[in-house]
Structure 1
Amino acid sequence: MRRFDLPGRSAVIAANGIAATSHPLASATALGVLRERGNAVDAAIAAMATLAVVEPHMTGIGGDSFAIVAEPNGRVHGLNGSGRAAAGAKLDWYIDAGFSEIPQHSAHSVTVPGALRAWEMLHEQFGSIAFERLFADAIAYAEDGCPVASRVAFDWAKEAITLGRDAGARQHYLLNGRTPLAGEKIRLPALAATLRLIAKYGSKALYEGSVAAEIVEVVQARGGFLTEEDLASVRPDWVQPIGANYAGQKVLELPPNGTGMVALILFNLLEILGTRRMPPDSADRYHCEIEAARLAYAVRDTMLGDPDCMSVSVKELTSPAYAERLADKIDPLRRNPDLELPPLPVAHTVYLTVADRDGQVVSLISSISGVFGSQIATPRSGILLHNRGGSFRTEVGHPNAIGPGKRPMHSIIPAMAVEDGKVSVSFGVMGGAFQPMGHAHVFANFADYGMDPQEAIDHGRLFWDDSGSLGFEAGIRAGVLETLELMGHRVHAASTPWGGAQMIVIDHKRGCYIAGSDPWKDGQAIGF
């Protein structure tokens, strides 16, 4: 239980429905839909649509989305809503043109956006109220204007120069050449008009017709290969979640091309290392988590990509036996200098989770990858195009090498946990490459140390940057950092917090939900 004589906030407890998002207006949207007898899927889609307007630097209809949905009867479904590279994006062309990597702010980083069609498929399968209703709040905020939240303004302020380089981004996402201040209203009328078309006609309003033609026009004018046929052929896939046993529960993630597999490798390693026997704030625990992560992320960088191109099966990579072999490389007392740190692709994301009175639970994540994605926006329709294609490699034979119609390695991952055949937790951690590490740390806080969802999220995090130094959040004690340095780690204060999390715990015995939302974002958990 939290200490009430210290700063912080309590977990939210409710019985009829609950939502946790990264923005208070999105949480309010979800609650409104739940009160109108919409179900958790309806509420999650509506909240994500609102986030596309109020957190435009993180998500939008020009991005991708993944979901895990648990039905009241306990059945669990996964949906991969990531788009593909253009049919004309051939590896040989990039090699011949001298691309050692895919430039992040370029038309070559723009893959087909899969989010909107994924939301529509979720609604078709599980929704209970009109699709049009789900966009009402988003349209109103885009049309009438919405005051910019504090964390959003903080992130937005760093992008003035790069946004100014693109005519569409400058038109829609700057105010006379500058970024908005906290509390300052920003209107997105072009996006509002596009959202109205989507609400009325469904996802085909984006993937076909004038909006699709404009997206193609903008991308091809900058040298990209995207065509109207690429957009029209978008098709998210229903997938079977994959899992690993941890602390008496089965943690569920989605299979590649996302990095949920990396989180499961981490959970297997932490079980082998027995980190739950270590104090939650100890240097030993942080050391073992980091060393396990370095191994799991190395697997990511050598083996993960479009599942059709992977040479080793997900089943083998997530097996306890494979983790046993990896664990031999971990010294519980010293940093292993022979482990090569993998590069960290930058990605920005929003994650939310919703549960309703009937027991339907949704874990939903969406992203435009980088801050404001590719930072290319369509002038007439106001859509920010994501840069998830920037995750592709340009190496012959690599599973994540760019190629026609391929899905890139994806950082965004929703999660759930199941105990005794029932969904017990729905959770996710935003933060680009940090996400698998975030899943392991936050879930272990709950499962191993008995923290409630808010405490589990509030607990101090650390992760490495491009230099290999560990960036620590303010909540980590100085003595821990000194010990980590003695173990061979380099540490420094992180310039910003590592990601952000949301979590709902389903208390079947007492018939209630318990939720938390990350204090490093603007959001909140809310229920009734």
Structure 2
Amino acid sequence: MQLRHDPVYPSRRSPVLADNVVATSQPLATQAGLTILQQGGNAVDAALATAAVLTVVEPSGNGLGSDAFCILWDGKELHGLNASGRAPAAWSPERFPDGMPDTGVDTVTVPGAVSAWVALSQKFGKLGLATVLAPAIAYAEDGFIVSPTIARLWSIAAETFADHPGFAETFLPEGRAPKAGERFRNPGAARTLRAIAETNGRAFYEGEIAEEIASFIQSHGGALTVEDMAAHKPDWCGTISAEFGDTELHEIPPNGQGVAALMALGILEHTDIRSYGPDDVQAIHLQIEAIKLAYRDLHAYVADRDHMTEIDETALLDPTYLKSRAALIDPTRAVDHGAGAPKRGGTVLLNTADASGMMVSFIQSNYAGFGSGVVVPGTGVSLQNRGAGFNTTPGHANCVAGGKRPFHTIIPGFAMKNGAPLMAFGMMGGPIQAQGHVQLLLRTQLWDQDVQTAADAPRWRMIDGLDVACEPAIAPEVLDGLRALGHRITVESPDNAFGFGGAQLVHRLPDGGYAAGSDPRKDGQAAGF
């Protein structure tokens, strides 16, 4: 039997409707979340269980060395958590004369995901870390059967990371990546997860695990220290938002790219996009142009919020400024826009919701699949390469510096309506994420598509200049229409699921309960009871 990651025939899932729901990119993680809910846990407990299991069963997208962000509705109010890590204190532009590397020990920033688990459990959880981490510990120790999409991504990573410190020892048993249908065990991860549960995370940041991480990095020429690890703290940062009609989209404030989704929506408010259908040429053209304008400003100004001293998110989201940016959109042709001048002022995504009304959008990532490619022996900790998100441009807000957070791609999304929670959602997949948030929000709120239809729909991705990548499921006449407007269209293979993201959505229903959808580009599953 051949276990495929790419469907031979078109497949259409229905949305899952239930009072308690979990949507993730891997079925074992989804089921772990449901188990925790059935044991009396709430949506936060379920989110933490799924997040921990995903570090084991989807190592191609995240791990114990990841960063994380969260937006959640606790039943009364909305909260935002930034658990991204900072650069080692010893980093400076002088350390990187050839620019920031993409992989290796000098891309490793402090991993923040574990601190997110601890903070969320302490503030909102009911069951405690020992209970919610138990499913992940079991899969790490006893093994799990590798799923098709993850097996493919794992094999690609093996070609890149086989010679990176510690990678082969942990992730290439028998000298190769495991195939779909084979069982994989990670006893080092089980050990680390147990230490996290027993010490409420302290072992990871101050104890034996922290010491092993820092020692291994330094032995290979990296700068991360135990002091860097111990200094890490997550921030309850709240959210920033923008309105589109009567819907509010909420994002985490910088250092993430969520502000670009808000800018694009604010720009689209000043267009006639409501005159078109979801798959019309003009609707896609307007979205591409709005995203293009937003991304120019994103890369010009967005960084660690503490270092955005000249232009901050308030200036970027100023309604007058966004209206002026919208005026630059030509409905008859594509334009290669530059950055504006506002006034001064791989990844896993999961959603959970419970019958009490709590809703969670949580995202964690190693950045580039297995991240830096560096894995600490005996711990199962694959370390992120978030340092690659910095630049070395003097005076730029995102210029590398010790103790600074890099620009981040991973963003959870949350929609509100009339002061009430509406949708916890998001999309893994690097630079498509803010673009994907816009596409998902418009499909569900403007064009009234259900969450599974919105996840199934073909996507486009602005690359740079006039270049746009599109999925082959977009109608040929639409692609021709975009080309006629001046967009340089490339049609990418269905195999490039990462490039077009992996969406998970949980939408509140008018009469109670939720509709959940999971992206067919991943191995995932939405389920509930």
- The verdict on a shared fold, with TM-score over 0.5 as the criterion, is yes
Residue deviations 1:343-372, cap 9 Å, x none?
Answer: xxxxx1100010011111111000011120
Instruction: For 1:205-216, list aligned pairs within 5 A.
Output: 205-216=203-214
Deviations 1:227-269 (A, max 9, x none): 1011011100001211000131111111000111111001111
Say if 1:163 and 1:174, in contact at 8 Å, map to a contact too. Answer: no
Give the letter aligned to residue 318 of structure 1. Answer: L
Q: In the aligned structure 1, how far is the partner of 2:337 from the partner of 2:441?
A: 29
Correspondent of 1:394 among 385, 389, 392: 392
CA distance in 2, matches of 1:501, 1:320: 29
Establish whether residue 433 from structure 1 lines up as the match of residue 431 from structure 2: yes
Please state if 1:329 is matched with 2:328: yes
Partner of 1:501: 503
Structure 1 residues 23, 6: closer, same or farther in 2, change over 3 A?
closer
Report what 1:56 is aligned to. 59
Judge which range, 328-337 or 146-155, deviates more: 328-337
**2:514 counterpart residue number:** 513
CA distance in 2: counterparts of 1:493 and 1:428, whole angstroms? 23
1:62-461 equivalences in 2 (<5 Å):
62-73=65-76, 75-94=77-96, 98-99=97-98, 101-310=99-308, 311-337=310-336, 339=338, 348-461=346-459
* C-alpha displacement of 1:179: 1.3
Q: Distance in 1 between matches of 2:102 and 2:425?
A: 29
Q: Give the distance between the partners of 1:193 and 1:372, measured in 2 at CA.
A: 19
Superposition deviation, residue 339 in structure 1: 4.4
Please provide the CA RMSD for this pair.
1.6
Corresponding residue for residue 18 of structure 1? 21
Evaluate the alpha carbon distance shift between residue 338 and residue 13 of structure 1 in structure 2; reply closer, same or farther with a 3 A threshold. Answer: closer
8 A contact 2:291–2:462 mirrored in 1: no
Q: CA deviation at 1:162?
A: 2.0
Secondary structure of 2:79's counterpart equals: strand
The code of the aligned residue for 1:330 comes to I
Where 1:369 maps in the other structure, the secondary structure is coil
C-alpha offsets along residues 313-359 of structure 1, whole Å, 9 cap, x if unaligned? 2112112212112112211110114548xxxxxxx110001001111
Given that 1:424 and 1:506 are in contact with CA atoms closer than 8 Å, whether structure 2 keeps it comes out as yes
- Equivalent residue number for residue 4 of structure 2: none
- Cα–Cα, structure 1 residues 197 and 394, in superposed 2: closer, same or farther, change >3 Å? same
Task: State yes or no: 1:35 paired with 2:38.
Answer: yes
Q: What secondary structure, in the 3-state scheme, does the structure 1 residue paired with 2:166 have? A: helix
Alignment partners' CA distance in 2, 1:400 and 1:479: 41
Give, in angstroms, the shift of residue 175 of structure 1.
2.3
Q: Which amino acid aligns with 1:10?
A: S
Q: Which runs of 5+ in 1 are unaligned?
A: 341-347
Letter in 1 for 2:506: I
**Identity percentage over the alignment?**
41
Amino acid at match of 1:321: T
1:217 and 1:467 map into 2 onto residues whose CA distance is 43
Cα separation, 1, equivalents of 2:139 and 2:11? 32
Q: What is the distance in 2 between the residues matched to 1:52 and 1:237? A: 22
Tell me how far 1:510 sits from its aligned partner.
0.9
Taking the aligned partners of 2:55 and 2:274, their CA distance within structure 1 comes to 38
Report the counterpart of residue 524 of structure 2 in structure 1. 523
Contact 1:106 1:222 in 2 (8 A): no
Letter in 2 for 1:526: A
- The C-alpha deviation readout for 1:104-128, integer Å capped at 9, x for no partner, is 1121110000110111001100000
Whichever residue aligns with residue 400 of structure 2, its letter is: I
Distance in structure 1 (CA, Å) of the matches to 2:458 and 2:46 = 30
User: 1:344 is matched with which residue?
Assistant: none
CA distance in 2, matches of 1:129, 1:338: 50
Deviates more, 1:206-215 or 1:76-85: 206-215
Whether the aligned pair in 2 keeps the contact of 1:19 and 1:355 (CA below 8 Å) is: yes
Question: What amino acid does structure 2 have at the position aligned with 1:113?
Answer: P
Is 1:8 the counterpart of 2:8? The answer is no
Q: 1:328 corresponds to which letter in structure 2?
A: A
- Give how far 1:430 is off: 1.1
2:5 corresponds to: none
Q: Secondary structure at the match of 1:250?
A: strand
Q: Is the contact made by 2:74 and 2:359 (CA closer than 8 Å) also made in structure 1?
A: yes
| Amino acid corresponding to residue 91 of structure 1 in structure 2 | P
Asked if the contact 1:163–1:173 (Cα under 8 Å) also holds between the matched residues in 2, the reply is: no
Give how far 1:167 is off: 4.1
Q: Distance in 2 between matches of 1:27 and 1:380?
A: 27
1:22, 1:522 within 8 Å by CA — same for their partners in 2? yes
Provide the secondary structure at the position in 2 that maps to 1:432: coil
Displacement after TM superposition at 1:60 (Å): 1.4
Contact 1:168 1:382 in 2 (8 A): no
Q: State the one-letter code of the partner of 2:356.
A: D
> 40-49 or 243-252, which moves further after superposition?
243-252
- CA displacement, residues 297-328 of structure 1 (integer Å, 9 cap, x when unaligned): 11111100011111212112112212112112
Q: Match of 2:119, SS? A: helix
> In 1, distance between residues paired with 2:336 and 2:39?
56
Give secondary structure in 2 for the equivalent of 1:179: coil
1:493 & 1:327 partners in 2: Cα distance? Answer: 27
CA drift at 1:6: 7.5
Q: Could you tell me which residue of structure 2 aligns to residue 343 of structure 1?
A: none
SS, match of residue 324 in structure 1: helix
Q: Contact between 1:160 and 1:177, CA under 8 Å: does it hold in 2?
A: no
**Of 480-489 and 193-202, the range deviating more from structure 2:** 193-202
Q: Confirm whether residue 480 of structure 1 aligns to residue 478 of structure 2.
A: yes
Moved more, 25-34 or 509-518: 509-518
Could you tell me how far 1:465 is from its partner in structure 2? 4.0
Provide the C-alpha distance between the structure 2 equivalents of 1:355 and 1:314, rounded to a whole number of angstroms.
Answer: 29
Rounded to whole Å, the distance in 2 between the matches of 1:224 and 1:102 is 13
Q: CA offsets, 1:62-106, max 9 Å, x none?
A: 010000110112x01110000000111122333xxx22x211112
CA distance in 2, matches of 1:336, 1:130: 52
**What is the CA–CA distance in structure 2 between the aligned matches of 1:468 and 1:88, rounded to whole Å?**
39
